[in-house]
Chain A
Amino acid sequence: MESLGELERSVMDQLWARAVPLSAAELRDALADRGLALTTVHTVLTRLEGKGFVRHDDARPRRFAAVASREDHAAELMHEVLGQAADRQAVLARFIGSATPGETEMLRALLADTP
């Protein structure tokens, strides 16, 4: 039995790869190798909708699509990670802040000068 997290990933991968809205049955067929029940697919889609990654239209049957592309999500996340907002400091420990160009030049020189 795969974890819900794994299934969510597979469903999102399908939605991102196809880039067209898919019904739950189409998703089940696309993931045929996993042998999922239609209710399982619905559960996963509901969870993903709750997290704000998926939305559905009013067609019958309903078709599901990713809210944003994988690249957009990654870019948004990176923007938050690299942002300077104060509470980011507490949300994430990130390896480095940013430096002014002058400072990085000076640091390079420092690295070069030290044996």
Chain B
Amino acid sequence: MLPLSALLLGLLALALAWPVPAVLSRARWARRDPVAALVCWQAIGLAGGLSIIGALLVHGLSPWGGSLPEAWWAWARHWFTGELPDQPVRGDHWVAQTLAAVLALELLGVLALALVRTARTRARHRALLELLVHPVPGVEARVLDSPVPAAFCIPGARPLLVLSSGMVEEFAPDELAAVVAHERAHLAERHHLLLLPFVAWREALPVLPAADRAHDAVRDLVEMRADDVALRELPGPSARRTLATAIVAAAEGGAPTGALAVGGGVLTARVTRLLDPPEPLPRWARPLAVGAAVTLVAAPTLLLLAPALL
């Protein structure tokens, strides 16, 4: 008989693996408050991992004790004392234990690997850029000689904001300021850290459509959030329009070799919400979203720590 908490964790894991991400990725309110949606996505990622690994662990260790901490302790001790629990340990318990270990190692391992790999690539890019870019008067970023209009930043302790010379030449000064403000928002709010786990887990779980969905949603939401932050810094009543124009101009010039637009829809979404801003969510909405996110993470944590009920 499965302990009830394992069953509940399993159900939660199922919900987080399919219906919840599907609903949230289609939710219209997300673009009205990217911050609230981002908080929800981070909670889904964390709670999803906790609940699936937790379900397997609780079931796998159930012969050793009623609650996870107790069972874990007894299980760890049995390797030294050889003491077996009163209840028989069946094959499915070993399978569940192994799966839990494999999954935990994979998720954490892939994340660590992604951290190392991005750090290495960033270091290489930074080394190269430090030789190639040069300051340009009147532009609050370093400039890289290239005709293709592009802007990007390398996050880190010493962030580097780079514009291509093509962009500096073709864009109006207020559009450049909008681009710089957008990139600076990414850097200031560490958006790369919000995205990194989802990049890693999409790689770790290629069969899970939710991993894809979550990654794409988070990628698009941080762009919208950066637009919102940039608008606060940009002067004048036409800031929204300027930023939208810059987005469209960059999209027109930025596609070499006919690369397909993977995140295509997001450009339209961003431009639309700049030109025709949606009503902001009511004031209670953000606390509600944060509350839901906290509950989502707290639920599997409590289920893991609470004594197995059966």
Q: Is B125 an interface residue (CB 8 A)?
A: yes
Separation of A90 and B298 alpha carbons in the complex (Å): 28
Of B57-65, B92-100, B246-254, the one contacting chain A is B246-254
Pick from A70, A94, A108: contact of B151, CB below 8 A.
Answer: A94
* Majority-rule SS of A interface residues: helix
Q: Is A84 an interface residue (CB 8 A)?
A: yes
Q: Is the CB of A78 within 8 A of B255?
A: no
Contact flag A78-B148 (CB < 8 Å), given A104-B252, A107-B268? yes
Separation of A103 and B150 alpha carbons in the complex (Å): 18
Interface size class of A (residues with CB under 8 A): 35 or more
Q: Is the CB of A92 within 8 A of B154?
A: yes
Q: Is the CB of B262 within 8 A of A84?
A: yes
Of B39-47, B101-109, B192-200, the one contacting chain A is B192-200
Pick from A96, A100, A104: contact of B260, CB below 8 A.
Answer: A100
Q: Is B74 an interface residue (CB 8 A)?
A: no
Separation of A98 and B259 alpha carbons in the complex (Å): 7
Pick from B114, B124, B129, B150: contact of A94, CB below 8 A.
Answer: B150
Q: Is the CB of A78 within 8 A of B150?
A: yes
Q: Is the CB of A111 within 8 A of B252?
A: no
Q: Is B145 an interface residue (CB 8 A)?
A: yes
Q: Is A89 an interface residue (CB 8 A)?
A: yes
Contact flag A110-B272 (CB < 8 Å), given A78-B144, A80-B125, A96-B267? yes
Contact flag A99-B132 (CB < 8 Å), given A110-B272, A111-B275? no
Q: Is the CB of A96 within 8 A of B250?
A: yes
Given A91-B192, A95-B250, A103-B251, output 12 extra A-B contacts at Cβ < 8 Å: A53-B131, A73-B131, A82-B254, A82-B259, A84-B259, A86-B202, A86-B203, A87-B114, A92-B152, A92-B154, A93-B153, A114-B241
Interface residues of B (CB under 8 A from A): 114, 117-118, 121-122, 124-125, 127-132, 144-146, 148, 150-155, 164, 179, 182-183, 186-187, 191-192, 195-196, 199, 202-203, 215, 219, 222, 226, 241, 244-248, 250-252, 254-256, 259-264, 266-268, 271-272, 275-276
Interface residues of A (CB under 8 A from B): 5, 8-9, 12, 51, 53, 70-71, 73-75, 77-84, 86-87, 89-100, 103-104, 106-108, 110-111, 114
